[in-house]
Structure 1
C-alpha cells in the first residue's frame, strides 16, 4: 500500500466506505447504513460476500431467504428510523438481482431510502455470454439490472474501481435527500467487485450527512396564509411526511389551538393519536364518514406530506366544493405541485411551525369546530360497534382488529400491506404512537408484511412488532419467519385465514365480475372454474415448519387468549385465526376508479358499468389556482 492510499478490492472499499457514513438531524447522529442483507450466488459471493466476511466489524451481514423480502425489510427499517438510517441489500447477477426490482419500486414509490447492490455481468466480457446474462442483439452493455433504472432514484454501474469514488458519494446524497430519496442501485460487475485498486484514504473518512429542515419561503408562506385566513371550512390532510419529519407533536398543538380538523392518509394514519380533539379519522376510499363528509364541504384543503394518491382523493371525487383550493406542503416540489393550488416546498415540521407563528391569533369558527368534533365522535361509535358486534360461528375481521388494538401496548407497532386488512385498519385502527401504525400502501405489495415486520423489529427492538397478514399475502412470501428465528428477533404474526383474496373478491363482485379467480378452491369439473371445495392448505403447519411457535383460534375468545400469549412470548409466534370473509367493515362512502367493461353479456357487469359511469361524472381535475 503506497502512502495515502489503501489497496482494496472494489467490494472491500465499498463496504468500508458504507461503514463510515452517518446522518444528523436536530443534533442527533446515527449510522446511515446499519448493515447488509444478502443472498449469495456466483455474481456476488467472491466480491461483496468476501468483503463482508473479511470485514464483519464494518458492516453486519444478515442472511435473508428471498431477495424481494430483504428489500422490504430494509424499507421497513428505514421507515421506522424516519428515513435517517437504512440497510443495504446484495444479490447475485440474474434472477437474484431482478427479484429485488419489486422491492426497489416499493421503496421509490413510498419515498423511502434503500441501497441495492446487485451483481452484474463481466465488465471485461472475456467469457461472455456468462451464466444468467441477458443478450440483446442491439446493445451489448445492457444487462437485466437495467430494469432497476425506472424504479431507482439513482442508478449506476461500476465498470471500473475508480468510478466508485464519485458514484458512492452520489448514492449517499440521494439516500439522505428527503425530497429525492428512494431506491439507490449500484450495479456491480462480478469481475470488478474482486478487482483491486489503490483507493485514496480520504475516501474512507467519516462523513456526516446533515438532514436539512428547509423552511417555507416568504412568498409561498404568504400565499398559504392568505388562503387559510380566508377559509371557513379548512381541513388538514396529514400524510407520511408528517411522521418522517417527526412533526406529530407540532401538528397536534397547531390543530388543537386552531380547531382545524385533521384527516389522515394511510401513511399518515398515526400523525395524531386516537382521541385528539381535531382528529376526524382516515380519509378517502378507505376512510371514515367523518373525514369524508368534511372533505366534501372543505373550501381550503391543507395537504401536509401527502402525495395525493387516488385512495386519498377518492379518485378525484372527494373534494366537492366547486371553489375548493389546496395548500400543499411537501419537502418534494414534485408532490407540492399536485392539485395546483399553493405550493409550499418545505419540511413538514418547519412549515407547521411557521404557520403556527403567523396564525397565532387565528382559529376556525366555533360552530365548525363543534361539527368536526361531533362527526368524529359519531364515527368512533361506529368503529366501537364494529369491534363489539358479535359474529358467529367465525369472528369477523373487524372483531379481530378490535381485539388486537385493545391488547397491544401504546408503543407496539402494527404492520400490514395488502388485501382487505389495510382498508379495515385505515378505518378502524386507533394508534397511540406515530410509529405504531406501519401499513405499506404506496405499492400495497402482497408479501411485504412479514419481511416488513422483520425490518421494524430490527430498527426498534424495544417495540413489539405485530404483523397482520391474510392468507393470500402469507402465501406470497412467508420465508422471512426463518430469518427472524435465526436472528432471535421476535415477531407476533396474526395470520387471518379466509381462503382467498378477500379485498379483490369484494372489488370483483362490486364490478360485476362475481369474485372470479379470488378464492382458493379446487377446480369444479362441472363449471370449469375454481369454485369447488376449499383446498386443504394448512398455513399454521407451514409457519411451524419455518421455526415459529403456532397458536390456533377459531373464535374471538380463543383469539384474544392466543394473542395475549403471543405478546407475552419470547419468540416469534403465529396466531392462526379463521374469519368469516363475508363480513365487511363500515362504509367509507367514497369511490375508487376501477374501470368496468364497457360492453358485456353479464347482467352484473352491465349494472356495475352504469354505477361506474355515474360516479365517473363527478371526477374533477382540481386545477383551481
Structure 2
C-alpha cells in the first residue's frame, strides 16, 4: 500500500510518527517544528505543516539562530529523548542556522534542521539567493552546514528521502552520535508528489539502550579505584543526560570519593552533599582545583575534558596521576590517555559500585576535602551577603538574591559573559536540570530562546534566563515569541555597560580592555568616554515584557520574588557594580591558555607574555 504525498507532506507525516523509548518510557522524538517561511519552504514544508492539521505542532520564531537555540533548550531539558525541528528558506535564513547548529553539535544535543535549498531541476541559473560557484554546480549555501552537522543530506529526488530520514532519526536518537542533523530540501523537490510506502509513514520506535561496560574494562577500573589514595570524580554532562544522578550518589556514599563538576555536569550531585566540592577548572572552586592538582586518579564520567576543565592541560599536576573515563562515546572515553570504560553513565556507575563494594577513601582524605568544602561555602556566603540594602548590587549579590528566591524546581540558564564563571563557582545547584549552562560553545544570545525551549519541555518549572547587556543586545528577538505564546520565562538582565568577562581577560593578556566597553568615544578616539544612554528596560518593555527595575540590593530581592510569582514573561533589569573577581572568593585557581603577543612594544603586553610563558611551562601531555 502507498500514499500519494509531496516530499514535504511525507516528511512531516514521517516525523509525526517517530518515537524514542528508554527505560520503558516512550515519547515523541520530534515534538514540534519551529519555522520562518520564505520562498524556499513556504509552499513545501509550510504547506505540509498546514495540511497536517497539528500532527506536527508549529512554533513561530523571529530569528533562525534563536529557533535552533530554543530547540536545543527543549532537547536538553528532555534528556535528549525529544527534539524539535527547525525549517527555514534557502539563503540567509539557512545560513543563519549555522551558529545554532554548531552549538547543538558541540554540546551533543539533537536538533533537526530542514532548510530549503535551490532547485534540483535547475530551471534557471541563478535563482534568487543562489550562490553561484563557477567550478561546482551542486554547491549551495547549505553546504555551510556540513561541518557543523552530525549528519547531512540533500534530498534531490523524492525516493532519496526514505533512507535519509531514517539515518537522520538514527543519529538524533543516538546518545553517542547526536547533534545537529540537516536535511536540505530543494524547493522544487519539496512540492513534488510521490507514492510513499505505508511502512515509511507508520509509527517507529528508536530504542535508547544503556550499554554496560565490558567486564575486563570494569575490572581494571575497579582495581585502579581501589589502589588510589587521592581519587577525584569529574562529573560531566553525560551524568545528567543519562539520568545517572542517583547512581553517582550511591557510588559516592559508598566510597567517599569527592565529586567536582564541569559546567554541564554541575547539579549531578546536590550542592549540600558532603562530597560535592563544586565546579572544576578555570572557573572552578578553590577546593575542587586543589583536589585536582593532587589527585592520583581521576574518574571522568560523561565529560569531554575541555580546556576549561583541565585548565589547558595544567590542572592535574600529580606526577603519578592516571585517568579512568566512563563515557558512552569511545572518542571521549579514550581522552587523557585514560582507561576507557565505554558505557552508559548510569549502567557504568551501577556496575562500578558493585565492583568496588566495601572500598572507601582514607579518612584523612575525606576530612581534608570536607574542610576545604566548608571554607568554600563560607566564601560563597560572603560573596552573596551585603551590608547596605541601599547600595547597587554586585553580580555575585544578584546571584545571592536569586538563590534566596528560587525553589528546587527552578531552572537557571546562562551561556556567556562573566556569569558562567560566577555561577560555576557560586551557584548552589539543588535539583537535576536546575543548572543549565551552555558552555561548550558559550554562545551569546542563547539564553532567552533556550529558556523558551526549556519552559516548553517543563511547563511546570519556573525558568530564568540570566543575561548581560552584551548578550541581550545580540538576540532579544524571541522575547516577542514568549509574549505571543504566553510563555512565562523570567529574564534577569544585568547592565554592566559592556563585555565584563572579556574586559577582564583583555586586561590579563595585555590588551588593556581595548574595545570591550559600551561607551562613547573620547577625545583620543578610544571608547573610554561616558556610558551609552541605552535603556534596555524600555527595549524589553517595547517587545511586550513586563519589566521591573530594582535599583538597590533591597529592591532586587522583592523584584525577583515578584517575577517568580508572575504568570507573564517578566524581565528584571538591574545595574550592577562591575568587578572582575568574586568578592570574598579567591581568584581563579587554574590557568586558561589564551595566547599572548610574543612581540609587543606596550609594557602591559610584555608583562602578560612573561606570565604566559611561566604558566604554559606547566602544561603536560597525559600519556
Structure-1-length-normalised TM-score: 0.98
- Superposed displacement of residue 446, structure 1: 0.2
Secondary structure in 1 aligned to 2:505? helix
The two structures, once aligned, show a CA RMSD in angstroms of: 0.9
1:52 aligns to 2:53 (yes or no): no
Aligned ranges 1:530-549 → 2 under 5 Å: 530-549=527-546
Q: What is the aligned counterpart of 1:66 among 63, 67, 70? A: 63
Question: What is the alpha-carbon distance in structure 2 between the residues aligned to residue 474 and residue 430 of structure 1?
Answer: 25
Write the deviation string for residues 20-57 of structure 1: whole angstroms up to 9, x where unpaired.
00000000110000000000000000000000111132
5+ residue gaps, structure 1, are: none
Q: What is the aligned counterpart of 1:178 among 160, 175, 179? A: 175
Secondary structure in 2 aligned to 1:503? helix
Aligned match of 1:400: 398
Question: What is the alpha-carbon distance in structure 2 between the residues aligned to residue 169 and residue 293 of structure 1?
Answer: 48
Secondary structure in 1 aligned to 2:74? helix
Quick check: 1:122–1:128 contact (8 Å CA) kept in 2? Answer: no
Aligned match of 1:198: 195
Question: What is the alpha-carbon distance in structure 2 between the residues aligned to residue 282 and residue 403 of structure 1?
Answer: 20
- Superposed displacement of residue 541, structure 1: 0.7
Question: What is the alpha-carbon distance in structure 1 between the residues aligned to residue 403 and residue 512 of structure 2?
Answer: 33
Secondary structure in 1 aligned to 2:528? coil
1:112 aligns to 2:103 (yes or no): no
- Superposed displacement of residue 583, structure 1: 5.2
1:214 aligns to 2:185 (yes or no): no
- Superposed displacement of residue 374, structure 1: 1.0
Secondary structure in 2 aligned to 1:406? helix
Distance 1:165 1:25, change over 3 A: same
Write the deviation string for residues 169-211 of structure 1: whole angstroms up to 9, x where unpaired.
0000000000000000000000000010011111011001100
Q: Identify which range, 526-535 or 453-462, moves more after superposition.
A: 526-535
Question: What is the alpha-carbon distance in structure 2 between the residues aligned to residue 549 and residue 500 of structure 1?
Answer: 24
Secondary structure in 1 aligned to 2:432? coil
1:31 aligns to 2:28 (yes or no): yes
Question: What is the alpha-carbon distance in structure 2 between the residues aligned to residue 619 and residue 268 of structure 1?
Answer: 24
Q: How many residues align?
A: 619
Q: Identify which range, 216-225 or 496-505, moves more after superposition.
A: 216-225
Aligned match of 1:239: 236
1:166 aligns to 2:163 (yes or no): yes
Question: What is the alpha-carbon distance in structure 2 between the residues aligned to residue 374 and residue 247 of structure 1?
Answer: 27
Aligned match of 1:353: 350
1:413 aligns to 2:411 (yes or no): yes
Aligned match of 1:466: 464
Aligned match of 2:484: 486
Question: What is the alpha-carbon distance in structure 1 between the residues aligned to residue 342 and residue 285 of structure 2?
Answer: 29
Question: What is the alpha-carbon distance in structure 2 between the residues aligned to residue 56 and residue 610 of structure 1?
Answer: 65
Aligned ranges 1:253-332 → 2 under 5 Å: 253-332=250-329
Secondary structure in 1 aligned to 2:598? coil
Question: What is the alpha-carbon distance in structure 1 between the residues aligned to residue 67 and residue 181 of structure 2?
Answer: 15
Q: Identify which range, 346-355 or 249-258, moves more after superposition.
A: 249-258
Question: What is the alpha-carbon distance in structure 2 between the residues aligned to residue 229 and residue 584 of structure 1?
Answer: 39
- Superposed displacement of residue 128, structure 1: 1.9
- Superposed displacement of residue 533, structure 1: 1.2
Aligned match of 1:606: 606
Quick check: 2:501–2:580 contact (8 Å CA) kept in 1? Answer: no
Aligned match of 2:591: 591
- Superposed displacement of residue 588, structure 1: 2.9
- Superposed displacement of residue 405, structure 1: 1.2
Secondary structure in 2 aligned to 1:192? helix
Quick check: 2:62–2:481 contact (8 Å CA) kept in 1? Answer: yes
Q: Identify which range, 286-295 or 582-591, moves more after superposition.
A: 582-591
Question: What is the alpha-carbon distance in structure 2 between the residues aligned to residue 90 and residue 208 of structure 1?
Answer: 23
Q: What is the aligned counterpart of 1:577 among 551, 574, 577? A: 574
Quick check: 2:494–2:575 contact (8 Å CA) kept in 1? Answer: yes
Quick check: 1:256–1:277 contact (8 Å CA) kept in 2? Answer: no
Question: What is the alpha-carbon distance in structure 1 between the residues aligned to residue 290 and residue 102 of structure 2?
Answer: 33
Question: What is the alpha-carbon distance in structure 1 between the residues aligned to residue 141 and residue 579 of structure 2?
Answer: 43
Question: What is the alpha-carbon distance in structure 1 between the residues aligned to residue 106 and residue 54 of structure 2?
Answer: 33
1:146 aligns to 2:128 (yes or no): no
Structure-2-length-normalised TM-score: 0.99
5+ residue gaps, structure 2, are: none
- Superposed displacement of residue 553, structure 1: 1.3
Aligned match of 2:425: 427
Quick check: 1:69–1:447 contact (8 Å CA) kept in 2? Answer: yes
Secondary structure in 2 aligned to 1:47? helix
Write the deviation string for residues 312-337 of structure 1: whole angstroms up to 9, x where unpaired.
00111000101100001110001111
Question: What is the alpha-carbon distance in structure 1 between the residues aligned to residue 580 and residue 76 of structure 2?
Answer: 32
Question: What is the alpha-carbon distance in structure 2 between the residues aligned to residue 120 and residue 370 of structure 1?
Answer: 62
Question: What is the alpha-carbon distance in structure 2 between the residues aligned to residue 38 and residue 405 of structure 1?
Answer: 36
Quick check: 1:292–1:588 contact (8 Å CA) kept in 2? Answer: no
Quick check: 1:40–1:91 contact (8 Å CA) kept in 2? Answer: yes
Secondary structure in 2 aligned to 1:119? strand
- Superposed displacement of residue 578, structure 1: 0.3
Write the deviation string for residues 482-538 of structure 1: whole angstroms up to 9, x where unpaired.
1011111101100000000000000001111111100001122x2111111111111
Quick check: 2:254–2:358 contact (8 Å CA) kept in 1? Answer: no
Write the deviation string for residues 249-285 of structure 1: whole angstroms up to 9, x where unpaired.
1101111221000000000011011110110111000
Secondary structure in 2 aligned to 1:478? coil
Question: What is the alpha-carbon distance in structure 2 between the residues aligned to residue 361 and residue 8 of structure 1?
Answer: 62
Quick check: 2:155–2:185 contact (8 Å CA) kept in 1? Answer: yes
Secondary structure in 1 aligned to 2:336? coil
Aligned match of 1:438: 436
Question: What is the alpha-carbon distance in structure 2 between the residues aligned to residue 416 and residue 47 of structure 1?
Answer: 36
Quick check: 1:397–1:583 contact (8 Å CA) kept in 2? Answer: no
Q: Identify which range, 526-535 or 57-66, moves more after superposition.
A: 526-535
Question: What is the alpha-carbon distance in structure 2 between the residues aligned to residue 42 and residue 530 of structure 1?
Answer: 42
Secondary structure in 2 aligned to 1:553? coil
Question: What is the alpha-carbon distance in structure 2 between the residues aligned to residue 235 and residue 135 of structure 1?
Answer: 55
Question: What is the alpha-carbon distance in structure 2 between the residues aligned to residue 420 and residue 64 of structure 1?
Answer: 28
Secondary structure in 1 aligned to 2:169? helix
Question: What is the alpha-carbon distance in structure 2 between the residues aligned to residue 333 and residue 583 of structure 1?
Answer: 38
Quick check: 1:396–1:583 contact (8 Å CA) kept in 2? Answer: no
Question: What is the alpha-carbon distance in structure 1 between the residues aligned to residue 356 and residue 53 of structure 2?
Answer: 53
